[in-house]
Structure 1
Amino acid sequence: MRTSKALELAVIAWFVTASTTAWSQTAGAASASASAQGASGTAASGATAPVGRKADRALRRRVYAAIGKDKEISAGDISVITKDGAVILNGTVTDVAQIGKAETITRGVSGVTSVTSKLTVKKPLGGM
């Protein structure tokens, strides 16, 4: 009987400790995010990366610029969608190799956390 009571108390203590640790991590992340946003919505120094529409637009511009620098990729047929560091590439390219190259270039852009490619190869009008 004593062993089961001690085991029960140990399990309860473990749950309380785990719950407290999880709660403090979530609260710490939320308060850090709120303080990083500040009153003006810009990131404070020491923040990992700004979030929101402005940051998404800036990241999208950086990705477009990086892809546009590569002369082998026709960037005019590629659209870029960004959301909190995640990038989706849509559109068409003229060669299969350009898909991988566009993904590699995008991954190299500062602030990109993931890349999803929905690029396809545009077939010439002759159909071959």
Structure 2
Amino acid sequence: MKKTRVLVLAITALAAAGSMSAWSQPLDASSASAGVQAVVQASGAGAPTGKQADRALRRKVYAAIGKDKSISAGNISVRAKNGAVTLSGTVSENAQIGKVEDIAKSVPGVTSVTNKLTMQKPFGGM
């Protein structure tokens, strides 16, 4: 009796798991292409939005800063949200603070820059 009950429960669990991963299929090829076109139109035809756009802008700012060999970008953090860029971290010279901000402002897509960069203190804090 217990073996039968366990077997029935196992089959029921497998059937439930299988039905959870089932996808509806279009009836014919024309409805499939119409569905794909609707998804592409709704997504904006490949234009990055939201987090993707923020990540792309962040990478562009990092790349622009990295092109300037006089700046060590290893201690600089860049955050981007809807075109607003926030710079934080440390630089080795005080003049680099403004320079990094100017570079970030020159990147296409950046609407504003908040500069929280500080000058790195020498070893020992003096």
Shorter-normalised TM range? 0.5 to 0.7
The count of residues paired between Structure 1 and Structure 2 equals 86
Give the SS at the match of 2:62: helix
* Aligned amino acid, residue 102 of structure 2: T
Counterpart of 2:22 in structure 1 is none
* Aligned amino acid, residue 63 of structure 1: V
User: Which residues of structure 2 form unaligned runs of 5+?
Assistant: 1-39
Q: TM-score, normalised by structure 1?
A: 0.62
* Aligned amino acid, residue 86 of structure 1: A
Work out the percentage of aligned pairs sharing the same amino acid. Answer: 69
Structure 2 counterpart of 1:66, from 49, 64, 85: 64
Q: Does 1:112 align with 2:115?
A: no
Counterpart of 1:92 in structure 2 is 90
Counterpart of 1:101 in structure 2 is 99
RMSD of aligned C-alpha atoms?
Answer: 1.6
Which aligned pairs between 1:44-59 and structure 2 lie closer than 5 A? 51-59=49-57
Deviation at 1:51, TM superposition (A): 3.6
Q: TM-score, normalised by structure 2?
A: 0.63
* Aligned amino acid, residue 60 of structure 1: R
Give the SS at the match of 1:66: helix
User: Which residues of structure 1 form unaligned runs of 5+?
Assistant: 1-36, 44-49
Counterpart of 1:39 in structure 2 is 42
* Aligned amino acid, residue 55 of structure 1: A
Question: For each residue in 1:21-61, what CA deviation from the matched residue of structure 2 results, as whole angstroms up to 9, or x when unmatched?
Answer: xxxxxxxxxxxxxxxx9422543xxxxxx540010000000
Counterpart of 2:81 in structure 1 is 83
Q: Distance in 2 between matches of 1:110 and 1:38?
A: 25
